[in-house]
Amino acid sequence: MIKGTTIDFAIIVIYFIVILGFGSFFGKYVKSTKDFFFGGQRFSWWLIGFSCVATTVGSYSFIKYSAVAFEYGLSSTMTYLNDWFILPIFVFIWLPIIYYGRITSIPEYFERRFDSKTRTISVIILLIYLLGYIGINLYTIGVAFNAMLGWDVMVTAVVIAFVCALYMHAGGQTSVIMTDLAQALMLLTAGILIFILGIDKIGSLKTFWTSLPYEFKLPFSPFNKPPDFNFVGIFWQDAFGSSMAFYFINQGILMRFLSVRSPRDGRKALFLVCLVLMPLAAFVVANAGWIGKSMSIHGLLPSDTNPNHIFVEVVYAITKPGTFGFIMAALIAALMSTIDTLINGVAAIGVNDIVKNIAPDNTDAYYLKWARLISLLAAIIGVALVPLFMQFKSIYVAHGTFIAAVTPPMIVTILFGILWKRYTTQAATYTLIFGSIAMLISIKWPGILTLFSHGVATEGLQYLRALYGLTICSGISIAMTLLPASKEIKDLPGLVVDTIHEGKVLFKGGEPDDFDEGKIISSHIVEVNEGVSLSKAMMEHLQAKPGDILYISDERWWLGGLKSIHAKAGPPHDSSDDIILIGTDLIVQGNLDINRKVTAMKII
Amino acid sequence: MMLPWLPFIYQYTICSFFFIAIIILSIKKKAISIHHPTDRKILLEIIAGYLIFIFAHASMILIAGA
């Protein structure tokens, strides 16, 4: 089933060259490990929102969700539309903890909240999770391209990993965010294009809609059947398993939210993701399946088409040479935008949790060199894991087994850690160790999952592994914490829900002033020796006082904060009301252009 | 006709419990303050977003049967 013409191949090659050049270009903005891992904490909410969606949509998404959509209809969207309930805990608790606590990695949170032993355990679990995730994504794209273009699985994995690692090596988080924006736009465009071309092929939107059966139009699949796509299993695996893992233990996503210019922008980014981009992504990744169903009803495709091939079959049936290549390139974009985040996450854990422990007190340049080296190493290990995932019956079994086995102990430990001040180090350690053992037991003896079946047939029990894991791990956490001997008194400033205010005080180095957000002002720059100073009128406009942290950015909004800086406001100056005095080092650090106006806003 | 609503009720019962419990905890532990205008605005936005999803899912079930 090899598809594709010379034009299609040419488009894919051009895509590789453009994305490599585009990603590498941002290497010039990386001057420190803070830039490499967190993009200098300067980006706007819309940039972070788009890049998050590009990360969510992996290479397997188009193929997997189109297959599900072809078989079960609009219920294929349910996995993308159940994240909103997580928002209060993320926005009110987790985001302030990581942002104001300047948490550089998930394991670092474990050490500060618990101890170094839990940090070590979490490093091991997270590296398995992230490297395995890279391997699965590379394997998926290899399988897809083997079927569609005849490329060898390993050759595809090596080429894509190589391109990704190259631009990551150069630009770190800045390259990830910028290329992910481009890739998000590309994959969203490709998905919408498939729908438009598909409707054109079928005849009209009305013909498409009326051809679909009633069950096909429902937003949820039946409660506990069929075994491979029932509501209750997907709900627990996805909403409480994958989504929680995505927002709370994915190092790449943590770093993405630490790259925003303020927690306010982090919140806006999350709103954009959950309310707009995820529903759009749900439509984009699945609509080839809905179109395929309608086409098969109208005799435009064989009704016995293999669901796993429906994405390619539909795309090939509705596109012309060139458009097919563009959609294939979008598939690569979906992959690359996922694994670049994961590679950056591995590099952050490698440097912050391993290298800095082994070789402390070195220069930032030394750690930056290691960050780049670990990025390359992560890509190589990801490729090396591809043959391992080839052993599984299918991509989905490999993916589901892997994620469900790794994530519940970490999710439960983090949630209890941030929500319950009394939660002890001993309880966290036991949850991580015995929770992981419990997950392995459920893989070896899946019959144990019957206790949580909700009436789901035996073949579908693996989807309830997340519920099993969350229940067991929560039980261990509660039991160990409530043991009379396990009481511990610890000062946890900014690390639990009770002490978020203390975290803000530590972040600012004084009492936080976030009661009134103030307004944004626009002004010219005047270079001075050091510090930042605004006129008295400007400070009043911003509702800021000396000592408050300000965000100063190039006035061109579409740069998304690429040229910007955070700085403490100094005492007001007596010069003109339309200039901001900024120190030379801050101008260089923020890549600010002295001839352009800047905007300023108060952060805290 | 009850069957399509069962997943809807199940999802929003469990999610609402989690959603409301976290909001109450955040207020009780002073992670947010309902007297703080910014916090109040965020809280209302989050609740509105949640209601939009409930409404959207309910509408999809009703439209499927229309």
pLDDT, mean of each 10-residue run, chain B (66 residues): 84 96 96 89 94 96 88
The single-letter DSSP state of residue A572 is P
Task: Please tell me the distance from the alpha carbon of residue A261 to that of residue A43, in angstroms, as a whole number.
Answer: 5
Sheet containing A549-554, strands listed edge to edge, beginning at the edge strand earlier in sequence:
A532-533, A579-583, A521-528, A598-602, A549-554, A564-568
Name, in order, each residue with C-beta under 8 angstroms of A351's C-beta and a sequence gap of 6 or more: A33, A37, A367, A370, A371, A374
And the tokens for A100? 């104001």
In 3D, which of A513, A594, A604, A506 has the Cα closest to residue A550? Answer: A604
For chain B, say whether A219 makes contact (Cβ under 8 Å). yes
How large is the average pLDDT for residues A542-547? 86
Give residue A163's pLDDT. 83
How large is the average pLDDT for residues A200-213? 95
A residues 72-101 lying closer than 8 A (beta carbon) to B: 74, 78, 81-82, 84-85, 87-89, 91-93, 96
Give residue A488's pLDDT. 64
Give residue A487's pLDDT. 60
From the list B7, B26, B50, the residue facing A92 with the nearest CB is B26
Q: Are A239 and A85 in contact (CB under 8 A)?
A: yes
Q: How far is A436 from chain B (nearest CA, A)?
A: 24
Q: Could you tell me the pLDDT band of residue A302, with boundaries at 50, 70 and 90?
A: very high
Task: Please tell me the distance from the alpha carbon of residue A72 to that of residue A222, in angstroms, as a whole number.
Answer: 10
Give residue A514's pLDDT. 66
Task: Please tell me the distance from the alpha carbon of residue A3 to that of residue A409, in angstroms, as a whole number.
Answer: 43
Name, in order, each residue with C-beta under 8 angstroms of A237's C-beta and a sequence gap of 6 or more: A400, A404, A463, A464, A465, A466
Secondary structure E strands in A159-288: none
Pairing of strands A598-602, A521-528: antiparallel
Task: Please tell me the distance from the alpha carbon of residue A211 to that of residue A201, in angstroms, as a whole number.
Answer: 14
From the list B6, B19, B52, the residue facing A223 with the nearest CB is B6
- pTM recorded for the entire structure: 0.88
How large is the average pLDDT for residues A59-66? 83
Asked whether the predicted pLDDT for residue A522 surpasses 60, the reply is yes
Q: What's the mean pLDDT when you consider all of chain A?
A: 88
Pairing of strands A598-602, A549-554: antiparallel
- ∠ CA A482-A418-A453 to the nearest 5 degrees? 70
Model pLDDT for residues A436-455, shown as the tens digit of each residue: 999 999 988 989 999 999 99
Highest average pLDDT, of A55-69, A148-162, A193-207, A237-251, comes from A193-207
* Exposure class string for A186-221: b at 16+ Cβ within 10 A, else e: bbbebbebbbebbbebbeeeeebeebbeeebbbbbb
Q: How far is A332 from chain B (nearest CA, A)?
A: 31
Does residue B25 or residue A159 have the better pLDDT? B25
Specify whether the backbone of A222 is left (phi greater than 0), alpha (psi in -120 to 50) or beta.
Answer: beta
Q: Is A447 exposed, middle or buried (0-12, 13-18, 19+ CB in 10 A)?
A: exposed
In this structure, of A19-33, A557-571, B50-64, the range with the lowest mean pLDDT score is A19-33
Specify whether the backbone of A384 is left (phi greater than 0), alpha (psi in -120 to 50) or beta.
Answer: alpha
Q: Is A112 exposed, middle or buried (0-12, 13-18, 19+ CB in 10 A)?
A: middle
Q: Are A292 and A70 in contact (CB under 8 A)?
A: yes
Model pLDDT for residues A104-116, shown as the tens digit of each residue: 889 999 999 999 9
**Chain B neighbors of A500, CB-CB under 8 A:** 29-31
Secondary structure E strands in A19-119: none
